[in-house]
């Protein structure tokens, strides 16, 4: 009887091993979960031109414009989930949402989340109330301990530039509105932004100078998704982005966002 029990146990274990790969695949197939739910959840954090909250509480901007054809191709609707740039990776990992748009791929982030092919690129620079472009022609010339720079915590711009500017005084804030308050109040001499945010600030406020030190930091931006053993969601998003790019729709979405 003991031998029979051992044999039956071994058969049961082999049976579990046989179905385990399928079970794991089903558990990690985020694409199928989205289709079954009929909703793709997208993390959203204010940052022009990617995300802006309208007065009625809805989201607009480049990522919402991009998510319309993405959701249509997936056959689902879109639901936006409030987050911050600093907590977006954790939001993906904890299944609060499925996608975070305009997420620059950095080595640190790549350890925590996965990325689609790029949807475009952003250029990083410094917004100043006075023209200091001659003073700060290079990133090395900015790297002084008497320079105070405001940046949005957790953004790709801060993660990228802070590695080069190790001597400056960083003032980390939670959103772009607070960043501009730091600059307008004079508490910070400079604000780290991308070229699109700076362009809108200068156009709306009729003041400010955007400085792009060399070497130019031109960083691809992507959609971020949860790390998974199953690549189906990333493959599907990559294909949709590629199709939009080939048809010229991706270029139109970018052009409309930065008007």
Q: What is the pLDDT of residues 139-173, one digit of tens each?
A: 999 999 999 999 999 888 998 899 999 999 999 99
Residues 112 and 159 in one domain: no
213 and 130, same domain (yes or no): yes
CATH number at residue 153: 3.40.190.10
Q: Are residues 78 and 108 in the same domain?
A: yes
Average pLDDT over all residues of the chain: 88
Q: What is the pLDDT of residue 122?
A: 85
Residues 104 and 41 grouped into a single domain: yes
Pair (116, 86) in one structural domain: yes
Domain of residue 252: give its range.
33-120+220-257
Residues 114 and 169 in one domain: no
Q: How many CA atoms lie within 13 A of 173 on its CB side?
A: 20
Specify whether 169 is located in the same domain as 229. Answer: no
What would the pLDDT profile of 190-239 be if each residue is shown by its tens digit?
999 988 889 889 988 999 999 999 999 888 899 999 998 899 999 999 99
Kind of pairing between the strands at 148-152 and 169-173: parallel
208 and 138 share one domain: yes
38-47, pLDDT tens digit by residue? 999 999 998 8
Does the pLDDT at position 7 exceed 60?
A: no
Same domain, 142 and 210: yes
Query: How far, CA to CA in Å, does 14 sit from each of 2, 7, 229?
Result: 18, 11, 22
Q: How far is CA 184 from CA 82, 189, 190, 220, in A?
A: 26, 9, 10, 29
Q: Are residues 213 and 95 in the same domain?
A: no
């Amino acid at each position: 009887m003991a031998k029979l029990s051992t044999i039956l146990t071994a058969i049961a274990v082999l049976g579990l091993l046989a179905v385990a790969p399928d079970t794991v695949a089903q558990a990690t197939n985020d694409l199928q979960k989205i289709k079954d739910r009929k909703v793709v959840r997208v993390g959203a954090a204010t940052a022009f031109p990617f995300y802006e909250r309208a007065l009625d509480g809805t989201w607009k901007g480049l990522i919402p414009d991009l998510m319309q054809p993405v959701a249509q191709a997936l056959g689902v609707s879109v639901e936006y989930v409030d987050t911050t740039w600093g907590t977006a990776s954790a939001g993906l990992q904890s299944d609060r949402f499925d996608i975070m748009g305009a997420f620059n791929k950095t080595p640190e982030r790549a350890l925590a989340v996965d990325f689609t092919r790029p949807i475009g690129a952003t250029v990083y620079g410094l917004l100043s109330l006075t023209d200091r472009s001659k003073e700060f022609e290079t990133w090395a010339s900015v790297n002084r301990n008497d320079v105070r720079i405001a940046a949005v915590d957790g953004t790709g711009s801060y993660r990228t530039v802070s590695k080069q500017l190790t001597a400056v005084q960083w003032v980390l804030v939670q959103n772009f509105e607070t960043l501009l308050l730091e600059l307008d109040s004079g508490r910070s001499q400079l604000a780290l932004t991308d070229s699109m945010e700076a362009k809108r600030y200068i156009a709306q406020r009729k003041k400010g100078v955007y400085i792009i030190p060399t070497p130019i930091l031109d960083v691809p931006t992507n959609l971020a998704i949860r790390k998974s053993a199953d690549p189906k969601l990333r493959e599907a998003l990559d294909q949709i982005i590629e199709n939009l790019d080939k048809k010229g729709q991706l270029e139109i979405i970018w052009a409309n966002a930065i008007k």
